[in-house]
């Protein structure tokens, strides 16, 4: 939790700096790249979190990996490395993307299903989210076969559970109390 709070603070600071330099969109593209790169590489995650690998080595590796990023994004990597917080890079990037999306009227909608959503279902979910909240959403599909069927939709603090596992649980509670 403390790491998440620190990541939010760094992300807010980077967003403020990007606004000052009129580079919000460019930094967003960089942070999206960083977020996806870190999330997609287990080895990179391990290196960033490793106390054995020196901060200078991590900084040099990240400078090579993200050589094409904006100066503000490169400075973020440098500051995180200097403050021994480089392990937060992926989370800072994720928080920046979320703050950017929120400031542009978008929100994250997480749909948990037993099988991957089809394009048609994705479009339907996005339309329903827009009807419910009045905002556009970025859809993330999480696969969890333990829900058996149906779906669980999370938008911010709201959750709608229409999973088969949830319905079975309701039935079990009804039968056990009668």
The tens digit of pLDDT for each residue in 32-80 reads: 999 999 999 999 999 999 999 998 999 999 999 999 999 999 999 999 9
Residue pair 47/61 in contact by the 8 Å Cβ criterion: yes
Mark whether 70 and 119 lie in a shared domain: no
Residues 57-87, buried b or exposed e (16+ Cβ, 10 A)? ebbeebeebbeebbebbbebbeebbeeebbb
Q: Name, in order, each residue with C-beta under 8 angstroms of 114's C-beta and a sequence gap of 6 or more.
A: 143, 144, 145, 147, 148, 149, 150
Confidence of residue 2 (pLDDT cuts 50, 70, 90): low
Per-residue pLDDT, averaged over 3-21, amounts to 93
Confidence of residue 178 (pLDDT cuts 50, 70, 90): low
Mark whether 98 and 31 lie in a shared domain: yes
Helix/strand/coil for 178: coil
Per-residue pLDDT, averaged over 123-141, amounts to 86
Boundary-marking domain end, from 78, 102, 126: 102
pLDDT greater at residue 67 or residue 106: 67
Mark whether 77 and 60 lie in a shared domain: yes
Mark whether 55 and 126 lie in a shared domain: no
Residue 112 lies in domain: 106-177
Domain count, the chain: 2
Mark whether 124 and 72 lie in a shared domain: no
pTM here is: 0.71
Q: Across all residues in the chain, what is the average pLDDT?
A: 90
Boundary-marking domain end, from 72, 102, 132: 102
Task: Look at residue 57 in the predicted model and tell me its pLDDT.
Answer: 92
């Amino acid at each position: 939790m403390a790491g998440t709070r620190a990541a939010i603070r760094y992300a807010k600071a980077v967003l403020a700096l990007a606004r000052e330099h009129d580079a919000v969109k460019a930094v967003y593209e960089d942070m999206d790249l960083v977020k996806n790169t870190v999330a997609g590489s287990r080895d990179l995650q391990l290196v960033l979190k490793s106390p054995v690998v020196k901060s200078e080595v991590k900084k040099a590796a990240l400078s090579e990996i993200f050589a094409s990023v904006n100066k503000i994004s490169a400075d973020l990597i440098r500051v995180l490395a200097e403050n021994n917080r480089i392990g937060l890079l992926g989370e800072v990037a994720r928080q920046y993307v979320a703050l950017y999306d929120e400031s542009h009227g978008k929100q994250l909608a997480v749909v948990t299903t037993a099988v991957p959503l089809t394009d048609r279902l994705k479009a339907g979910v996005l339309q329903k989210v827009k009807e419910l909240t009045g905002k556009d959403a970025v859809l993330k599909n999480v696969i969890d076969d333990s829900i058996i069927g149906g779906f669980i939709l999370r938008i911010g603090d709201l959750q709608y559970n229409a999973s088969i596992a949830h319905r079975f649980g309701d039935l079990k509670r009804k039968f056990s109390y009668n």
